[in-house]
Structure 1
Amino acid sequence: MSVASAGEFGLIARVTARLGSGATVLLGPGDDAAVVSAPDARVAASTDVLVEGRHFRRDWSSATDVGHRAAAANLADIAAMGAVPTALLVALCIPTDLEVRWAEELADGLGAEAALVGASVVGGDMSSSPTLTIAVTALGDLGGRAPVVRSGARPGDVVALAGRIGYAAAGYTVLSRGFRTPKLLVEAYRRPEVPYRAGPQAARLGATSMIDVSDGLLADLGHVASASEVGIDLRSGAFEIPAQMRDAAHALGIDPYAWVLGGGDDHALAATFPAQVALPDDWRVIGRVVDGTGLTVDGKPYKGSAGWDHFR
């Protein structure tokens, strides 16, 4: 059955029937707006969009995978502010010949990823479009803490990373070359493993700045350096390159550090901390904040790509 056959409201009924409601949802889908509790009295909010052919391909990823990716991209932004995600709003622009089953499985992925952090899909909108587009807005609760922003890094701070880096970029390259293995890398691209709990944890530890690595480690830390008016130097030896990534890089004639330093779809979290803070195992130190401007690797400018630019 196509979405045209199901009709707008039939499709909405099918999709919303697959979505649960978490503890923060006071009123879910079905009215003009949802109602979500905000105990902190402040709401962290972020939005992101995925366009078919630009951000995902249906022949590379299942609908459930795409749902996970769409939710993760937004939930990671909330975690990067030091907040706990509470709700998602999803707008779908879909071709009329899209199968209803695909939309239902997309909803499954969105709901399952949100459930990882206790959040829920609480509403959204649908429209027909020749290009399949998924726009997601995430809301979050700061829990009484100040948001961790990009402008707080200071010389002497350490730079630390939570989560995987380079895996999804490697998976994208593998898929773009027509391969489907190594599975570790391909699955990392299809469905990221985001260190959600590390965001609020970093806030409690006194992180001075934080960012979701969505466009590339160097590119995103460059935003921190610019906003904080500091320099950042990374240590290449701080990154562990798994055997599968190293082997794939060798087979494809690519420097694996291009994936690690320029890849971002893993949605790792990068943060700066005062040097005296004892970091838990979730975080590993990868560099330091220095006087000056810009990013360096092992004390030298990096000559490769810093990351993704949507308009380049």
Structure 2
Amino acid sequence: MNFKNVTVAGSGVLGYQIAFQTAFHGFKVSVYDINDEVLGKAKAKFFELCECYKRDLNATQDQLDNTFNNLSYHSNLAEAVKDADLVIEAVPEDPAIKRDFYEKLSQVAPEKTIFATNTSTLLPSEFAEVTGRPAKFLALHFANMIWVNNMAEIMGHASTDLSVFNQLVEFSKAIGMLPLPIYKEQSGHLLNSMLVPFLISALDLWINEVSDPQTVDKAWMKSFGSPKGPFAILDIIGINTVYNVAKLHADTNPLMARLMNRLQTEFIEPGHLGMPTGQGFYSYPNPNYESKTFLQ
């Protein structure tokens, strides 16, 4: 594994975390997004991450200064990937957006560049051909709050070169992750194959007005000693991601259609997208579920 230069495409909920974590571990990271305004928001979030790294990882100021020195910002895709050994795609969870991105990426990336998608629910085989380099394409999925939930799921498809797969396993270790190799394509990888049914069951209780989000969370937290319930997890994932997934299945799943409509009205339109915006099912910072009296 000879990676030195990594491009992270998309600076949203997970993209900015992947970029910062990779730069923190000594790689040169080009952060790509659609315009300078979005990139400016990413820079602001990097400063917020500094406090998290100090608190949770005991990061020193020198380490954080080196991290920022390893980061560069680009709204021109060709410029962002010109030296890339690896591109990690973290654009919205929408097949059309991802397909359009890979069509453009394939025209400007060097031949050496490996492409990895951070998709949480889609399969790499859906995009393998449009990348123009199916043997050098696979999924590399991270959990939210990457610096503490430090695991990486590596999943190829039928045409992924085994050496590429193994390089991504080594890269995951190099950026402080616990690598979780997956040997057969699975929608949702390992984590979301278990997590999504859990979250859907909680959303079903909310949509059908069986109970409210905080009460559902209390039931889970009290029963299993978990620090967070499903609606707290949904806030961390980001309501926009949940909305996009619901939208994908709205035509064939009545629950997903109702969920999409309610999320759009109550969360998407007012901009309450969860933890990143300070408001979702809970208010941030200091959400209720962190209170000592929440389970009393």
In proportion to residue count, which structure has more helix?
Answer: 2
TM-score (norm 2): 0.28
Identify which of structures 1 and 2 has the higher relative contact order when contacts are C-alpha pairs closer than 8 Å and 6+ apart: 1
TM-score (norm 1): 0.27
